[in-house]
Structure 1
């Protein structure tokens, strides 16, 4: 059972990497538009989003623990940005399978 989980994780990771590399090779699209495939979306949903949510939660806890020190030093905003906002944005503010942050929706191009 353990071997099956590890093998599945490795296969999904390899498929995700191949999908991302193939997506980078689309020279007909604008640079800021992403068009993720099914493997990128599934890998993002199963692997990247849970890891991102965990990193955001750990960052929030670290921010609360470091708050007295960052308040005395005067860099509370920077600590909050790096520990909570940035991981949260990477987790929740991008389309499924996209690699860039922001609500990147699929856009149709009329360059046929």
Structure 2
């Protein structure tokens, strides 16, 4: 009975040692696929989305300056600041390259 237990443990250890490199190579393959997928989105982000985001941040600041007296009277001054300036600024400057979420 003890020999059966040792054989069982030996079999499990050998199978685990065989399976570990297979799992690591699968993870590495998935990682390189993700990098290839994100490379295109990084290029689009750097060449299109970031410059458009900078323009939108500056335009939002201009719109905020024009509309700030009205938003102060309406009581939504902070909401206007966040919507017109902070959100476009975060989209442009505070997210990883290629991450559109």
Structure 1 gaps of 5+ residues are 1-27, 101-112
How big is the alpha-carbon RMSD for the aligned residues of Structure 1 and Structure 2? 2.0
Shift of 1:74: 1.1
Q: Which residue of 2 aligns with 1:58?
A: 59
Output aligned runs, 1:79-90, within 5 Å.
79-90=80-91
Q: How many residues align?
A: 69
Deviation at 1:72, TM superposition (A): 1.0
* Runs of 4+ with >6 A deviation: none
TM-score when normalising by structure 1: 0.56
CA deviation string 1:37-89 (max 9, x = no partner):
22111110000000011011100000000011111111100000100001111
Distance in 1 of aligned mates of 2:38 and 2:89: 23
Task: Give the TM-score of the pair, scaled to structure 2.
Answer: 0.62
Q: Note the residue ranges of structure 2 that are not aligned, 5 or more in a row.
A: 1-29
